[in-house]
Structure 1
Amino acid sequence: MNSLRPDTLIQNPNSAPIVVCVTVDCPANRLWGMVGQFANFDVFIPALTHIEMTGTGVGALRTKFFHDGNRVVEQLNSRDEHAMQMTWTMIYNTLGLARLWAAISVEALGEQCSKVTWILIAEPMDTAQEGFESFVQGFASSALENVRRLLS
C-alpha cells in the first residue's frame, strides 16, 4: 500500500494580526497604483534592491532581494482591482520567518484623500524572539510612510 498522500509545507500563521494604516493626500486609484502592484514594492521599501517575478496574476511568485543579502519568495493569493485589495503568502525566506500572510487594501476617504491598510500575520522561526512584532510593525510603518511621502 502506498503511504504517499498530498501534503504541503505552506501553513497560514496563527498569531495576532499586525495592522498598519496610513492616510495619504491623493486619490485612491493613485495610491492603489503604487501599493497594489505586487511586482513593485521596491518602489516604496528602501531595504529592497529589486524584485524578480515568476508568472503574472494570482499564483505569481515574487522574489524580493534585500540590500543585506536576504531574500523572500511570496505567492500572490488574490487581487481585486475594483475593491483595491490583495493578499499574499510567504513560501521561502532567509529572514528567520516561519510563516507570513499579508493583505493590503486601499479605501477612498474623499476625492483627494485615501487610506492604505497593510495587515501582516507573521511568526518567527524562534518563538522566543524578543521584539519580533515591533520589528514587523516598524517595517510596515516605515514602508507606508514612504508611500505617503512619495504621493503627498
Structure 2
Amino acid sequence: MNPLRPDTLIRNPNGKPIEACVMVDCSATRLWDMVGQFAHFDVFIPALAHIEMTGTGVGALRTKFFRDGHCVVEQLNSRDEQAMHMTWTMIYNTLGLARLWAAISVEALGEHCSKVTWTLIAEPRDTAQEGFESFVQGFANSALENVRRLLS
C-alpha cells in the first residue's frame, strides 16, 4: 500500500497572458483605491451581484456572485500597497474555467494621469472552446473601461 503524500488541485495555468490596460485621468492613488480593493471588484464589474470575503490580506478568499447565477472563488496571493499591484488565483468556479491566475497593477504617469493593467492567464475546461480568449479579453477590457468612466 502506498502512503498518502501531499497533493493539490491548484496549479498555475499555462497559456498566453491576456492583458487589458487603460489610462485614467486621475492620480494613481485614486485609481488604486478602486482597482486595488480585492473585496470590491463589484464596484466596476456590473455583472457581479456581490462579493463575500473569508479572511483578510494575503490568503483571503473572495467569492464573487454573478447576476446570472455563476460563482467564482479566488485566493489573494500577493498585494503590495506601495507598488500598487496584487495577484490572485481562482480555486473554484461554475464558468467552465480550468485554471486562472490574474494580476492588477497601477502606474502613475503624472500627477493626474495613471494606468491600470490587468493581466490574466486562463485555461478553459474544454480546450476546444472557441472564442475563449476573446471572451476573457472582452471581459477585462469592459471592466477597465468602467473604471475609466467611473473615475473620469
TM class, shorter-length:
over 0.9
Quote the offset at 1:3 in angstroms: 1.9
The superposition leaves residues 106-144 of structure 1 with CA deviations (integer Å, 9 ceiling, x where unpaired) of 000000000000000000000000000000000000000
| Aligned position for 1:134 | 134
| Cα distance between partner residues in 2 of 1:146 and 1:14 | 28
Identity %: 86
The superposition leaves residues 76-127 of structure 1 with CA deviations (integer Å, 9 ceiling, x where unpaired) of 0000000000000000000000000000000000000000000000000000
The superposition leaves residues 20-44 of structure 1 with CA deviations (integer Å, 9 ceiling, x where unpaired) of 1100000000000000000000000
Aligned length: 152
RMSD: 0.6
**Which amino acid is 2:95 matched to?**
L
| Aligned position for 1:80 | 80
| Aligned position for 2:44 | 44
**Contiguous gaps of at least 5 residues in structure 1:** none
| Cα distance between partner residues in 1 of 2:139 and 2:86 | 19
| Cα distance between partner residues in 1 of 2:114 and 2:84 | 11
**Which amino acid is 1:22 matched to?**
V
1:107 aligns with 2:107: yes
| Aligned position for 2:146 | 146
| Cα distance between partner residues in 2 of 1:54 and 1:4 | 29
**Contiguous gaps of at least 5 residues in structure 2:** none
| Cα distance between partner residues in 2 of 1:19 and 1:145 | 13
**TM-score computed with the length of structure 2 as normaliser:** 0.99
| Cα distance between partner residues in 1 of 2:47 and 2:73 | 15
**Which amino acid is 1:67 matched to?**
R
**TM-score computed with the length of structure 1 as normaliser:** 0.99
1:10 aligns with 2:23: no
**Which contiguous aligned blocks of 4+ residues in structure 1 show a shift greater than 2 angstroms?**
none
Quote the offset at 1:2 in angstroms: 4.7
